[in-house]
Amino acid sequence: MATAQELSDFLTQVERRAFKQTVYAVRDDHAALDIVQDAMLKLAEKYPDRPVSEYPMLFQRILQNTMRDFWRRQKTRNLWTTLFSSFGSNDDDDDDRDPLEILSSEDTQDTPDTQVERSQTIAIIENALQALPARQREAFVLRYWEDMDVAETAAAMGCSQGSVKTHCSRAVRALAVILEKNGISKEVLGKSGVER
């Protein structure tokens, strides 16, 4: 069982990385901060009796679920906003009800071409990750997105370090093939702003 200090140390250690990961996913600093704080609170409230060794995987799952909840709420909110705006008044005085302004969630500093290219690249990468077997995907995300070392990843996954290396190697090869088939090279990733 973890002490309060161990829990606090763990949360301090993962906060920055979790925030970066979440900002990348939701593209909104304020929403990302809320999501990370919610995930941290859930870990502290629901799992204070777990050993510290279980925290990395628990926190990652909580964070992913909290992001999914955010996307569900956004999707529902956008649907209702669009529906209500279609029933809105046609008066010229009603300038506050522009649905394009309400629904706009992309960074306005990017050109439309850049935004489209980035969203297409991200969608291809997400689909490629989903195509991986679960253990390969888990190893890949923990090692390369969460920056865990081999020993930490092995502990989080409950397997040997050799298994982690095998899963990561296979995942990288499979992703490279999938991305290359879709015309995505390292240079494209860099230009789209999605390279780690």
pLDDT tens for the chain, 196 residues long, are 778 888 889 999 999 999 988 888 788 889 999 999 999 999 999 998 899 899 999 999 999 889 888 887 777 666 555 544 444 445 555 555 444 444 444 444 567 877 787 788 778 878 888 888 889 988 888 887 777 889 988 988 889 999 999 998 898 888 888 888 887 765 544 444 444 4
Domains of the chain: total: 2
Q: Do both 117 and 80 map to the same domain?
A: no
Residues 188 and 130 in one domain: yes
Residues 65, 147: one domain?
Answer: no
**What distance in Å separates the CA atoms of residue 121 and residue 191, rounded to the nearest whole number?**
10
Q: What is the CA radius of gyration of the chain?
A: 20
Please tell me whether residues 68 and 22 are part of one structural domain: yes
Question: Is 96 inside any structural domain?
Answer: no
CA distances from 140 to 108, 119, 134, 145, 163 (A): 32, 21, 10, 7, 12
| Residue 191 domain flag | yes
Structural tokens at position 110: 């990017």
